[in-house]
Chain A
Amino acid sequence: MLINTMEYAALVGLVGIIRLRMRYDRIISWLMFLFFAFLLFDYVHQALFEKNVGFSFLWNKSSLGDILISFNPDISLNRVVIPLFFLSAVTVLNNNIFRFEEKRSIFNSFIILNFIAQSLLFGAENCVQLITSVFVSDILGYLVLKDVDSSHRYVVYNFFADMCLFMVLALACGKLQSLELAQFPLYNEIGHHKDFVAFMITMALFAKMGAALFQSYLLDISKARFQRMSAVNLLFAPLSALLLFLKLYGLLQISDLFMPLFQIESLLTFAVGITGFVIKGHIRKKMVYLNMAFLGLMLQMLQAEGFVWTPLFSCYFITVYFVNLLFFKIYLYQNREDNVDKMINAKEINSLPLKAVFAQFILLSAISFILAWNISIAGKHIAVMAESCLIFITISLILSQIYKSPHSRRLDYLALNRLRLLSFLFNTFIFVLAANVLKAGDIKALVFALIFCLIAVSPFPNRLRLFYAKNALQGEDLSKSLFFYAFVAPLMYLSRTLWLAVDFVFSEKIVTAAITAVKRWAVSLFFKINPKGYISSLLFIALGLLCFAAVFYIRIKP
C-alpha cells in the first residue's frame, strides 16, 4: 500500500525530531537511512510493476468544494517522486557519512519531511493541498538553515512568493468556484485578469527560485554551512518553484506575457549564474551562482520539453545534485577553506581523494553532455546543449584553479575512513551505471569529457584568479541594493509618511484634539452658564422651556 510508504516515511522523519541523547544520534540516523532506503526500494519495486495504489482523504469541506489530501501515483508523478526519493536518500546517506551536523538525525528528518511535502505538492489535485505543501516545504527549509543571518532574506523572499501564489490561487479558485487544479485550463474561458494572473505567478516562482534579480536570498544562504546551503538550493524552495511551473502551467499559458517573460528571465538567470560562478572567490557563493546557472538551464530544458518532467530531465537534475556533492567533497578535502584563491594545490593536500573526485567529475561531464544532447535533440532547442557545455567548461576552469593552485602550504590530511570510501564507491557505481544506461561512451560525450580534462589541466584558468583580487567584484551583489531601493525603502518611507501625516497630525493632533477641545469647551460652557445664583437658575429654566417649544414645534409641523 502506497499510503504505508508515505506514512512510514513521515514516521521516519518524525523520529529524528525527537530529542534523544547525543549518543543515540548515530544509530538513529543510520536506522533512519536504512528504513528510508528500504521504503525507496519498495516504492520503486511497486512502481516498476505498477502496483502503486494512491490514496485520497477528505480533509475538510468548504463552499468551494471538498478539500482532499490525495496522492495518486502514475507514470508522470513517479518521474518526479522517484528521483526526489533517491536524492533525499542520498542526502541522508551523505549526512551520515560526512559528519557535518551536530545532530544528524534532525537534518535527516527535515530532508525526509521535505520529500513528503514536495511529493504531495506535485501530487496535489486541489489548491489547498498545493499551497499547504509549498508552505510546509518553505518552513522546513527555514528550519534546515537554522541560522538567523542566512535565513532572514530566505524567509522574506519566500513569504513574498508564497503570498503572491496564495493570492493568485485564491483568485483563480474564487473565479472558477472550484478548488480543483484540473479546472485551471477553464480559466482561459472566463478571461478575467489573465495577464495579471500569469505575471504574478511567474514573478512569485522566480522569486522563490532565486532567479536573476531575486538571487540575494540565495547569496545569504551561502553564510550557512555548505551542506545546508546545497540542500536548500536544490531540494527546497527552488525545487518547489520548478515543480510549481509544471503544476501551474495550465494557468500560466493563458497569457501571452508568460513565455517572453519566462525566456528572458531564465536566460538572464543562466547568464548571471555563470558570471558569478567565475568571478566570485568564495566557494559557497560560487556554488550559489552555479546552481543559479543550472536552474536557468533547467528552466529552458523544461520549456524545450513542453513543461513536462521527463526521465531525461530527472537524470539531469540528479547530475546537478552530484555536481554539488562533488564540490562539497573538494571543500571538505581542502580543510573547509572558503576562498578558492587560498585553496592548496591538489598534490599537496588529500591528493588521492581529490583525484578521485576529479575522476568522478569527468564521468559527470560525459553524462551531462549526453543528457543535454538528447534533450536538445528531442526539444529542438540547441541552446540547451550549448549552455550545458558552457557550464561544465566553466566548472573545469574552476577545478583547474583549485587543483593547480600555486599555493603549496601543507595542511593536515583528513583521515580517510571507510565510510568515506563507501561514499566514493556508491557515487562511482551510480555514475558508471548512469553512463552505461545513457550510453555516455558515445564518441561525442568522450570528446567532451576530453575537452573537460584538457581545460582542467591547462595553465590558462589560473589567470582568471585576477577576479578574486578585485574588491569591487567580490562585494555585495547588486540585487541586494535593488531589493532595498525598489522594495524596502519605498515601503518604509510610505509607512513613516502615513504615520506622521495621518496617525500623528490628522488623528492625534486634529481629530482627537478637536474632540478634546469640544469636550473642554462644553464643560467650561456648562460651568459658565451654571454659576451659583438666581439668574443662572432662571436661564436654565428658560433653556428647558426653549427645548420643549422646539420639540412641540417639530411634532406639530405637517
Chain B
Amino acid sequence: MNAHLLLLLIVMPLIGMFFVLSAKDDRTYAASNVYNVTLWTMLPTIGLILYAFSFLDLEKKGIQLVEKYGWLYFPPADILLGVDVFALLLLLSINLAFAVAVACTDKATERPKTLLAGGLMFISLINGYLLAADIISFYIFFTALSAPLIILVSTYGSLKKKNAMVRFSLYNLTGALLLCVAVVMIYKYKAGNIPLNTVANLNFKGKIEYFVWLSIFLAFISRLPVWPFHYWISSINAGLKNPLVFVIGNLIPLIGLYGFIRFWPNTVPQTIAVYAPFFEGMCVITMLFISLISLSHKDLRYKLFAYTSVCCLLYLAGVFLPTGALKLNIGYALFSYIIIVAVLSFLISHVEAQKKRMNIYGGGILCYMPRASRCISLFVLAGIGLPITPLFWNNFIIISEMFNYNLALGISVMLSVFIIGLALLEELYRLKDKSYAAQSCALGADLPNVPFALYIGCLVVLFFSFFKPLWFVF
C-alpha cells in the first residue's frame, strides 16, 4: 500500500463519491446513507494521511514519497505525485475540516447527494492539487477544482446573485486558461512534462519569460481576493447559505495561496522576483482595504470572508519575502487557520439560521445559545490571537521576518490584523449584547451535542498543536 499511498488519497474520496451518487433518490434513506458513506470515506482518508506522516523525514526539505504513474504515450506525459510536510499538513487540516463539516451538517439539507458528491469530488481534487509534483498534473487538478466549485455554488448559492455566479465561473475558467497557456509553453519549451521544482531551471528569454510568469501569476490571483477582484468571492460567499458549501467557499483562496507557495520564492527566476515588492504592496492594500470595510459591515459572513482574505494575504506576503525559511511556519499557521475557518463557517451558519428562525435581526442572539456563544468566542479569539493554537506564535515569527525586510509592510500587516480582529470582536459583542435579547428563552436554538463535542475536539487538536505542531506523528 505504501507504493500507492498518495494515489489512494486522491482515489478514496472519488470512490466515496461514486457510492454517494449510486444511492437511491429516496428522501428518507438516501440522506442518511450518503452522510454515512461520506463520513466513512473521510475517516480512512484522514487515517491514511496520518499514516503517510510516518514515512516522512520531518527534518528533510523538499518533496518526499514520490510516486510516478504513466499516463500518455503521445504526447509523452507521466503523472508525478509527491508530498512534503507542508503539503501533508494542509491535506490533514482540509480533510479534517471537511469531515467535521460533514458530521455537523444537518441531514435535512436539500439535495444531499449533490452536496456530498460535490464535496467529495472537491476533496479528491484538492488532495490531488496538493500532491501534484509535476506541471501537468498540477494544472489538471487546478482546473478540475473549478468543476465541483461551480456545481456547488450554482446549486446552493443565492439565486438573486446570478451575475455573481457567472462572474465566478468566468474568473475560474479564465484562471484555468491562463495556467493552461503557461503550462503548454513550458511543456513545449522542455519538450515534456517536468517536476514543479525544476521550473526555476527554465531559461526563458525576454518577453516569453514575462508572459509565462504573468500567466501563472494571474492564474493564481484569480483564486485570491486581491483588490479590485476581491468582490466576486465576497459576493459568492455571502449567498452561500449551506454551511458545508460555505466551508468549501472559504477554502477557495487557499488554492491560489498554495499555487504561489509552490512557485515562489525558490522557483521563480530573479528577473521576476524583483517584482515581489509590487505584489506585496498589492497584498497589503487589499488587506487594509478589506479589513477596513469589514469594520462597518453588519454581515457576519462578510467579516469571516474578510478574515480569511487577510490571513491568506498575510501568508502570501510571507511567501513573497526573499526567504524560504518561513514555509513550515506558514504551514503550521495554515493548519490552525483552516480548522478555525471551517468551524467558524459552521457556527456562523448556525447562528444565521437561528436568527432567521427566531426573527432576530439585531444582536443578542448568543444570549439564547450558551454553547454556541462559548464556541464562537473561543474560535474568534483563537483566530485573532488567543495563544492556544499554532497560529499565534507562527504569525509572530512570520511578521518578525516581514519587519526584518520592510517596516512599512510589517506595520500595514499588523494594522490589518488588528482591524479585522477588532471587527470580529465587535461583532462577537453585538451577538452577545444582552440589551438586544428578549426575556423569553428560545428552546432548541443552541448547538446540538455532536457538533458541540466536535468543535471542542477541534479546539483540543489545536491546543495540542500549539505545544507541538506535529504531535500526531509518532
Tell me the dominant secondary structure on chain B's binding face: helix
How far is A393 from B320 in the complex, measured between Cα atoms in Å? 61
- With a cutoff of 8 Å between Cβ atoms, the chain A residues found around residue B417 in the complex are 163
CB pair A174 B402 closer than 8 Å: yes
Of B400, B411, B429, chain A has the most CB atoms within 10 Å of the CB of B400
Contact A148 B293 (CB under 8 A): no
A148 to B434, CA, bound (A): 8
Q: Which of A128, A139, A169, A512 is close to B167, meaning CB atoms less than 8 Å apart?
A: A512
CB distance from B207 to the nearest CB of A (A): 13
Judge whether A67 is part of the interface by a CB distance below 8 angstroms.
yes
A503 in contact (CB, < 8 A): yes
Given A156-B425, A160-B418, also A170-B400 (CB < 8 A): yes
A132 to B397 Cα, complex, angstroms: 13
Q: A175–B404 contact, CB under 8 A?
A: yes
Given A175-B404, A511-B228, A128-B393 contact (CB < 8 Å): yes
Binary contact readout B157-187 vs A (1 if CB under 8 angstroms, 0 otherwise):
0000001001100100000000000000000
Rounded to whole Å, the gap between the CB of A487 and the closest CB of chain B is 10
B407-418: contact bitstring with A at CB < 8 Å (1 yes, 0 no)?
Answer: 100110010011
Are A67 and B393 CB-contacts (below 8 A) given A166-B385, A491-B295? yes
- B472 at the binding interface (Cβ < 8 Å): no
Q: Are B231 and A159 in contact (CB under 8 A)?
A: no
Number of CB contacts from chain A to chain B under 8 A: 132
Which A residues are CB-close (under 8 A) to B393?
60, 62, 67, 128, 132
Which B residues are in CB contact (< 8 Å) with A512? 163, 167, 231
Residue count of chain A within 8 Å CB distance of chain B: 50
> A43-69, CB under 8 A of B: which get 1 and which 0?
000000000000000011011100100
B464 → chain A closest CB, angstroms: 13
A1 interface contact, C-beta 8 A: no
* Interface hits, B314-365 → A, CB 8 Å: 323, 325-326, 329
Interface residues of A in 482-531 (CB under 8 A from B): 491-492, 494-496, 498-499, 502-503, 506-508, 511-512, 515-516, 519
* B385 and A170 contact, CB distance less than 8 A: no
Contact residue among B295, B384, B396 (Cβ-Cβ distance under 8 Å from A127): B396
CB 8 Å contact bits of A19-48 with B (1 = contact, 0 = none): 000000000000000000000000000000
**Residues 352-390 of chain B, each 1 if its beta carbon lies under 8 Å from chain A, else 0:** 000000000000000000000000000001001111000
Let me know if A128 and B396 touch, CB within 8 A.
yes
CB of A167 within 8 A of CB of B399, answer: yes
Say whether A162 faces chain B, with CB atoms less than 8 Å apart.
yes
- Report the separation of the CA atoms of residues A502 and B229 in the bound assembly, to the nearest whole angstrom: 11
Give B406-441 interface residues, CB cut-off 8 Å to A: 407, 410-411, 414, 417-419, 421-422, 425-426, 429, 432-434
Write out the residue numbers on chain A whose beta carbons fall within 8 Å of the beta carbon of B227: 502
CB distance from B89 to the nearest CB of A (A): 14
Judging by beta carbons under 8 Å apart, are B386 and A63 in contact? no
Q: Kindly state whether residue A470 has any CB partner on chain B within 8 Å.
A: no
A355 on interface, CB distance cutoff 8 Å = no
Do A60 and B469 contact each other (CB < 8 Å), given the known contacts A495-B292, A499-B293, A507-B228? yes
A515 and B167 form a contact (CB under 8 A): yes
Task: Verify if B467 is at the interface (C-beta below 8 Å from A).
Answer: yes
Chain A residue, CB-CB nearest to B163: A516
Partner among A59, A63, A139, A149 whose Cβ is within 8 Å of the Cβ of B467: A59
* CB atoms of A175 and B397 under 8 A apart: no
> Is residue B289 contacting chain A, with contact meaning CB distance below 8 A?
yes
Asked if A503 and B293 make an inter-chain contact with CB atoms under 8 angstroms apart, the answer reads yes
B residues within 8 A CB of A64? 397, 400-401
- Min CB distance A185 to B, Å, is 18
B452 lies within 8 A of chain A by Cβ: no
Question: A491 and B292: CB pair below 8 A?
Answer: yes
Cross-chain contact A174 with B404 (CB below 8 angstroms): yes
Q: Report yes or no: B397 in contact with A135, Cβ–Cβ below 8 A.
A: no
Which of A131, A152, A160, A491 interacts with B396 by CB under 8 Å? A131
Question: Smallest Cβ distance from B238 to chain A, in angstroms?
Answer: 12
Most A C-beta atoms less than 10 A away, residue of B397, B433, B434: B397
Q: Does A193 sit within 8 A of B, measured CB to CB?
A: yes
Name B323's closest neighbour in chain A (CB-CB): A63
For the complex formed, measure the closest distance between the CB of A151 and the CB atoms of chain B, giving whole angstroms.
9
Tell me if B296 is interfacial: C-beta within 8 Å of chain A.
yes
- How far, in angstroms, from A171 to B231 measured CA to CA in the complex? 32
A524 CB to closest chain B CB (Å) equals 16
- Whether a CB of chain A sits under 8 angstroms from the CB of B278 is no
B111 within 8 A of A: no
Question: Separation in Å of the B450 CB from the closest CB of chain A?
Answer: 20
| Nearest Cβ on chain B to A44's Cβ, whole angstroms | 29
* A132: chain B residues within 8 A (beta carbon): 387, 392-393
B293 touches A495 (CB 8 A): yes
What distance in Å separates the Cβ of A197 from its nearest Cβ neighbour in chain B? Answer: 10
Bound-complex Cα distance A193 to B353 (A): 49
Annotate B281-299 by CB proximity to A: 1 below 8 A, 0 otherwise.
0000000010011111100
Query: Does the CB pair A135–B385 fall under 8 Å?
Result: yes
**Is B210 part of the binding interface, using a Cβ–Cβ cutoff of 8 Å?**
no
- Inside 8 A of B433's CB, which chain A residues have their CB? 148
Whether a CB of chain A sits under 8 angstroms from the CB of B55 is no
Q: How far is the CB of B299 from chain A (nearest CB, A)?
A: 12
A263 within 8 A of B: no
Contact partners of B432 in chain A: CB under 8 A: 148
Given contacts A139-B386, A156-B425, A175-B404, contact A167 B410 (CB under 8 A): yes
Question: Is A177 on the interface with B (CB-CB < 8 A)?
Answer: yes
Q: How near does chain B come to A10, taking the closest CB pair, in angstroms?
A: 13
Closest CB of chain B to A291's CB: distance in Å? 25
A254 to chain B, nearest CB (A): 16
Chain A 457-502 residues near chain B, CB threshold 8 A: 491-492, 494-496, 498-499, 502
Decide yes or no whether B189 CB sits under 8 A from chain A: no
Q: Mind listing 21 A-B residue pairs with CB under 8 Å?
A: A62-B329, A62-B397, A63-B325, A131-B387, A148-B434, A159-B384, A159-B425, A160-B418, A166-B396, A167-B411, A167-B414, A169-B396, A170-B403, A174-B401, A174-B403, A175-B404, A495-B296, A498-B293, A499-B293, A502-B227, A508-B231
Known A-B contacts: A63-B329, A132-B393, A507-B230. Give 4 more (CB < 8 A).
A62-B329, A64-B397, A166-B399, A512-B231
The 6 closest A-B pairs by CB, nearest first: A174-B404, A174-B403, A174-B400, A63-B325, A495-B296, A495-B295
